[in-house]
Amino acid sequence: MAFSRLLSVCLSLIILISDCHGTAIPRITFPLDSPGRPVGLFTPPDVYNSTTLLLSEDEETLFVGARDALLSVNVSQRGGLVLNQKLDWSPTEKDLNDCSMKGKEKTDCPNFVRVLQVLNSTHMYACGTFAFSPRCTYINAAQFSLVTGSRPEEGRGRCPYDPYQKNTAITVDGELYTGTVADYRGNRPIISRHLSEGEHVDVKLDDTLGWLEDPTFISSTFIPSEEKVYFFFSEFGGEYDFINKFTVSRIAQVCTSDVGGQRTLQRRWTTFTKAQLLCQANGELPYNVLQDMTTLHPPEGASEDDTLFYGIFSSQWSVNSGRSAVCAFRLRAIKDVFSGNYKYLNRDTLKWSTRVQEKIANPGECGLHNASDNTLRFVKENFLADESVLPVNQELTIVSPDHQYSNIAAQRVRAAGGKDYTVLYLLTETGYLHKAVLLDKGAHIIEEIQVFTKPQPVKNLLLSVSKGLVLVGTSEGVASVPVSNCSYYSSCAECVLARDPFCGWDLSRRACVDIDSVRENVGQDVEGGNVSEVCKPRLRSFSPKSPASELVYVSLNEVVHLRCPAASHLAQLHWERLNSQISPKIYMQHEDGSLSFLATPSTLGQYLCQAVENGFTQTLYVYQVRQKSNPTVQPSTPSRPQITRTSESGRGSTGATTKGVTTPQTKDETMEPKPTTKVLVPTMPARKTPAATTGKTTRNNVTIREEKLEKEKVKSLEGERQLLAKNPSYLQELVVVSVLLALCISALLTIALFSFRQRCHIRTAPHSPGSRRDAERAGEDVSHEREALKGNAPGAGKQNGHAHGVAKSPNSLSNGALNGSNGHLPNTPI
């Protein structure tokens, strides 16, 4: 019991420590089909599971591997993705029947294309599950057609059997490198090379124990300067014996020049080595399950050692359930780990330990195919690096407390000042695409865009840098999202606060534009988002956005709700009144920023909803709350509400009036204006249009007007009840305490009555025979007293405190002492 409590305390401390790391919250949310962030959806008829994506070298064409089909899609059209050609590649009816006979679901028996790669300038190569019997085929790239006359090749070891089994594939110089499973049950993981030509031969992993431990392959990449292919996967860590099936994330390497040994390790990898990727911060449990990995090559002129690998990790423990972390690893750190010491496995005890003697060879070094048998046996036994690869700066890049990330893409963007920033695109399990920029002080998520609504078990993410598109492949189709959305920000302040390296404020055009279109005279502050420095009021281009305004008519004692649309989740909302204060005793501000209060003569007037973000204050909305006038009397024309100019202090001075605030009237001058007048309705994503709760009156019919007034009173009472219901109520607690107190008092009274009754019962109980003798003795004493009263001397007297001739009661007193049972004093001889 004590141990469990201690464990819970430790886990709580770990959670608190993890919360101390910088967590990223999306600044703006764009739901699906939001007009502020258009998303192109490519959903051709009868095409499903478009999850395998490949871009052509010029990025003009997107090749899609789907269910029973291969697609060629044009991405150069501004209107979105356009289908060029479709190839049907489906199993026969016999293949489907055989798949069903194996006990598989019919929905899993079609041909799901899982491998799609470019072999050379003329041909492509594709592999599919093909009714749980993998097949591969060549594709003519120019005509986008299946090569005729060639029999489909068996895809075992190149493509998984199960469409939900993860795999990875990459082509280098016309050769296919794959990581998948090589059997129907998925129990034989394999990393192999196929389609080798010339002196190269197809090679694969040996079946030696410990090379791979039930891996889940994630991705692979080729580094030309190293002439190595790197594989990323998760597997069980056999070197850890403190817990069963402890999952670790791995990076493995093989040389492209590897052709296997001459006698030892024939047609087997001689350069295979692997190491652990440790995504962990100090004092935290590691994020040990790899979900996805992407490669960010260094800028032009930089060393290949500065290549970065950004990965998404999750945890297998419930303490980190529902969280994701992003870690970055540098190629230089990976090379240092692979050039260090290695572990070896004791075949008798199945325990891993660090090798301390001098190394015979350097495992993972290219060119070992001509080495001696002794050297090859050494590298065969020493393939697990002793050290782990640590993340850049030994810290997490992003920690998401609320989102589970599944896919990642990365690119480097040069800002207006010439500084390069890394932009990450992260796909969540719930269907949102997060766009984040990595700053010196941490990650900043610029926006999140919803790309699908239904859960997707298999999905893919691909980035086209030249086209400026993020492509998301799902079972429903392919979504294309532009990397930038600068035109959404209508003011200089909003453009700067976004801190988007793609966008800057054009001082001449007075618009937020893509910085690629203009490099000079652009206002931008990606690192700090300082509005006062970039958007200086003295500049003619600085024109604060006029806040939206609304005229609200209310009745006295009516509950008023004023809503404030805030596009930024990082802004703090507060309300202000001219020459008055927002007292919490009168007003209630809700979590969404809206304000509620009871309409009284003192609460009528102008209300300003302001947002404070990064030290900058701007007025978002202006409400003018007025009392409804008598319907038979023409009200005077309301004055235009005053607005407050934005400032850093959060207190603005009364400036220009709100434009367009009018009171609707008709030809009949005695007609009452409409109760609510919306002047400017802002278009904000993920938030409802602001509204105020008001009542309505009629024009002519008195009966209808009275009925409407009664309805308004009912609505007002209901609003007051709702307002009171939102306030904390302690009535239920008071009733419970009162009942408990009454029960306690009743119990005490019952105990007291019971004790009193017991005492009375003892006093009124019948006496014993000894008590009867005492009564007779008392009668004799009375007779003696009567004889004395008659003048006769008593028959007995007292000597030494004893009465002669009189039987003593056992309980009678003599000289203050008790008598014994024989009538004498205790311990006195007779």
Which domains, from first to last, does the chain contain?
486-534 (3.30.1680.10), 548-720 (2.60.40.10)
Share of the chain above pLDDT 70, in %: 74
Q: What is the CA radius of gyration of the chain?
A: 43
- Give the tens place of pLDDT for each residue, 320-334: 655 899 999 999 999
Checking phi first, is residue 301 left (phi over 0); if not, alpha (psi -120 to 50) or beta?
A: left
Q: Is the pLDDT of residue 356 over 50?
A: yes
Distance from C-alpha of 576 to C-alpha of 651, rounded to nearest angstrom: 9
- How many Cα neighbours within 13 Å face the side chain of 482? 17
Mean pLDDT across the stretch 193-221? 90
pLDDT band at 796 (very low <50, low <70, confident <90, very high): very low
The average confidence (pLDDT) of the chain is 80
Of 6, 35, 17, 174, give the one whose Cα is nearest residue 485. 35
Q: Are 115 and 126 in contact (CB under 8 A)?
A: yes
- Give the tens place of pLDDT for each residue, 707-719: 554 555 545 545 5
Checking phi first, is residue 130 left (phi over 0); if not, alpha (psi -120 to 50) or beta?
A: left
Q: Strand pairing partners for 295?
A: 309
DSSP 39-69: -EEE--TT-----EEEE-TTSSEEEEE-BSE
Q: What is the pTM of this model?
A: 0.74
- How many Cα neighbours within 13 Å face the side chain of 281? 20
Q: Is the pLDDT of residue 543 over 70?
A: no
Which of the pair, 651 or 507, is modelled with greater confidence?
507
Distance from C-alpha of 211 to C-alpha of 231, rounded to nearest angstrom: 13
Q: Which residues are within 8 A (CB) of 472 and not within 5 positions of it... i.e. 6 or more apart?
A: 407, 427, 433, 451, 452, 459, 460, 461, 478, 479, 480, 481
Given this model, what pLDDT does residue 276 score? Answer: 98
Q: Which two tokens stand for residue 781?
A: 């004493």
Given this model, what pLDDT does residue 689 score? Answer: 38
Burial class (CB in 10 A: 0-12, 13-18, 19+), 723: middle
Given this model, what pLDDT does residue 324 score? Answer: 92
Mean pLDDT across the stretch 35-62? 94
- Give the tens place of pLDDT for each residue, 568-619: 999 999 899 988 889 999 999 998 889 999 999 999 999 999 999 999 999 9
Mean pLDDT across the stretch 180-195? 94
- Give the tens place of pLDDT for each residue, 746-794: 999 999 888 888 776 655 444 444 444 444 444 444 444 444 444 444 4
Given this model, what pLDDT does residue 390 score? Answer: 97
